Amino acid sequence: MIRDIICAIIVCASTPTAPIASTSEAATMRVLVPLVAKWEGKKNTAYLDTIASPAVWTVCYGETRGVKRGDTYTDAQCAEMLERGLVTFRDGLHQYFTRETKGLRLTPERDAAYVSLAYNAGIHGIGKSTATRRLNAGDIVGGCEAIGWWTRAGNRVVRGLVNRRADEVQLCLRGVT
């Protein structure tokens, strides 16, 4: 009995944990919007993203939905488009998170890291990913580390994605002790 208690203490003491956390949409957006804006960059006129496979018309901060050649937007329109898009991506990704994950494991920073990844790589892919499965299982560190695996585009490792993922992993791990 005492041996079991001592073993439990040692295991608990050596296992990284995070404080009980939760976040609101507003708290996440305060972290998320500048994060995504930094990594996506902004082009007010539509351009053909040739790294994507197949190539896709893109505008503002990486927006692809409904974009066609010649589309042009103001800075204010780009900012509005980004915020609206990020809310949509957050809502979609949250459908893949368990109640426990949403209520206990998501800090604004961790939520922003996952949504940034989903905005870049797609809701379904990230929702079904090892990163999400690990987070849902309570393995916060493992989930955050798995974010760093998403560094390929067009079948090759892209330096910009390596850097972006490193930033997202660091943000995701914030608060883990």
pTM comes to 0.87
Q: What pLDDT score does 155 carry?
A: 87
**Residue among 15, 27, 3, 42 nearest 109 (CA):** 27
**By the 8 A CB rule, do 107 and 175 touch?**
yes
Q: Which fold, 22-40+74-173?
A: Lysozyme (1.10.530)
10 Å Cβ neighbour count for 5? 9
As a whole number of angstroms, the distance between CA 97 and CA 76 comes to 32
Q: What pLDDT score does 32 carry?
A: 98
Q: What pLDDT score does 20 carry?
A: 62
Task: Kindly give the confidence (pLDDT) of every residue in the chain, 177 residues in length, as a single tens digit, with 9 standing for 90 and above.
Answer: 444 433 443 334 444 444 567 789 999 999 999 999 999 999 999 999 988 888 999 999 999 999 999 999 999 999 999 999 999 999 999 999 999 999 999 999 999 999 999 999 999 999 999 999 999 999 999 999 999 999 999 889 999 999 999 999 999 999 997
Give residue limits of the domains in the chain.
Answer: 22-40+74-173
**Residue among 123, 134, 56 nearest 87 (CA):** 123
Q: What pLDDT score does 14 carry?
A: 40
What is the separation of C-alpha 57 from the centre of its chain, rounded to a whole number of angstroms? Answer: 22
Q: What pLDDT score does 58 carry?
A: 97
